[in-house]
Structure 1
Amino acid sequence: ENYIDLVTLSDQADMEELLGLDSFTYTESAWIGLKKSGSKQWRWALADPQFYQEGETEYRNWATKEEEVVIEYEDCLIPAGHFAYIGLFKDDYIWSDNSTSSFRNWDPDQPDESGECVAQRLRDSRLWDDQTCSAQKPFFCSACV
């Protein structure tokens, strides 16, 4: 097979598939394609293209229902004087293939600034850990399909 890059994980289903591979049971962790970029950027928690149309990646909309909801139920989403999470988060990690996947699967104490590359733990928590990029370990690749 021709491998093109380190793996990008888009959702929990990708994680399940990755963790189902038998070839890495001998090691503590393996590299994935996420690394620190050096500058924090705002990202949508749900980066799936079904939430926006071409050219609309800068905001979310309610598609066809927005106008009628605003007209009929003016304050239906956020009571006056309150705040609401709209789905943005800020982090400084990017995928090596420049994917826009916002999927994150950090261990609760991670990232702890101990490294700039991200490893998938294959034992104990099976979550992500930031580690020093120079550490030698196996890695997960994406194949050219």
Structure 2
Amino acid sequence: MKSSLVLIMVLSGLGFLPSSFSKFYIYVKQYMSWFNAQTYCRTQYTDLASVQNGQELSQLSQLIDSRLHVWIGLCPDPDSWRWSLQNPVYYGVGEIGFRLWAAGEPNEAYYHKACVAMGSSGEWVDLFCDSIYPFVCYDGTTGTFVFVNQAKSWINAQSYCRQNYTDLASVRNQADNDQLVMLASGNPWSTHIGLYRDSWKWSDGSSAPFTNWDPGVTPTAAYVDMCVASYQGKWINIACNAQMYFVCFVDLAMRKHVVRVVMKNNDSSVEMEELKDDILQKFAQALQDQGLTVDLHLGWVTLPNENVFYAAS
């Protein structure tokens, strides 16, 4: 049962039990690279630590030494292309995956964030998001595209479109692409469209809408051999082969565990079954001594003969 797993981890001095009782963090004080830490966490627990909200960030921050660089589970995902306009109603079957890459594109595989522009031929290229080009917006009110002949970065173009129209243009099919080519005709430069890649994800496969980047870090310009560590309460990207402590987690909502406790009885006159409640109380006291103050219920698994303990051969 869950409580047995929690008991062993906290007594080892490596764990933190969240009040929600769904995710359990384990601080592992062994130096490993990010990938070796990932393998360790997946073998011993669930995975490297993921953080989905402020409460989990607080739990993690209380557990680790903020003076050290400590691996967490955020890592690159170079294949995660998506449109700025996220409304699923706008896309028909298969349209969200429409692509018209030029030969050899996309080629910015070494960067976590890349943005897309359309050339005069109508084919697409990926580029740095701070590249300055005109752009095409989509106006959801009229259902039309609008060419904006102002040179802006992709991010600034996105902001402009969202403030004045609906969003940067999504290209759902060849007909949409042909419209954009006509609108941008005469433009000697490339034209920003709404496709981009922001490829951070958690090791357990979950998305990363919640982040806690250090203000001095530019994660969008990080190479794919960079992974993420917590340092002084913020996240930074560091070469994945660096040797650091790390944090694993156990998803208690998905996994149930029973832990066998081996005890030695040196007094044959003592009946262990009569002491089972006292033993649980001592376990509970040990948890309190480790600083665990949440409501925790421990219990024994009863054997078919209605006993808890049995004599080992």
Query: Among 72, 75, 82, which residue is 2:164 paired with?
Result: 82
Note the residue ranges of structure 2 that are not aligned, 5 or more in a row.
1-8, 10-43, 90-140, 142-162, 169-195, 253-313
Determine if the alignment matches structure 1 residue 34 to structure 2 residue 74: yes
- Tell me the CA shift for residue 84 of structure 1: 5.6
Residue 140 of structure 1 aligns to a residue in which SS? strand
Q: TM-score, normalised by structure 2?
A: 0.30
| Structure 1: distance between partners of 2:55 and 2:83 | 20
More contact order relative to length (CA 8 Å, sep ≥ 6): 1
User: Taking structure 1 as the reference length, what is the TM-score of the superposition?
Assistant: 0.60
In structure 1, the gaps of 5 or more residues are 45-56, 61-74, 76-80
Structure index of larger Rg: 2
Deviation at 1:43, TM superposition (A): 8.2
The answer to whether the 8 A contact 2:76-2:199 is kept is: yes
Q: RMSD of the alignment, in Å?
A: 3.4
> Is 1:59 matched with 2:88?
yes
Secondary structure of the 1:20 match is helix
C-alpha displacement of 1:85: 6.8
Amino acid in the other structure paired with 1:135: A
Aligned amino acid, residue 107 of structure 1: D
Measured in 2, the distance between the counterparts of 1:97 and 1:43 equals: 23
SS at match of 2:244: coil
CA contact (8 A) 1:110 1:128 kept: no
Instruction: Indicate conservation of the 8 Å contact 1:8/1:95, yes or no.
Output: yes
What whole-Å deviation, never above 9, does each CA across 1:103-143 have from its counterpart, x for those lacking one?
A: 1111122325265211011x2xx211111011010111111
Compared CA separation, residues 84 and 43, structure 1 to 2 (3 A): closer
Post-superposition CA distance 1:64-92 (Å, at most 9, x none): xxxxxxxxxxx7xxxxx814679xx8411
Matched position secondary structure for 2:78: strand
Counting aligned pairs with the same residue, the percent is 27
The question of 1:113 aligning with 2:222 is answered yes
| CA displacement at 1:144 relative to structure 2 | 4.0
The aligned runs of 1:1-145 (5 Å cut-off) are 1=9, 2-21=44-63, 24-25=64-65, 27-42=67-82, 59=88, 82-83=164-165, 90-108=197-215, 109-111=217-219, 112-113=221-222, 115-121=225-231, 123=232, 126-145=233-252
The 2-side partners of 1:142 and 1:105 are apart by 18
1:39: Cα distance to partner?
A: 3.3
> Counterpart in 2 of 1:52?
none
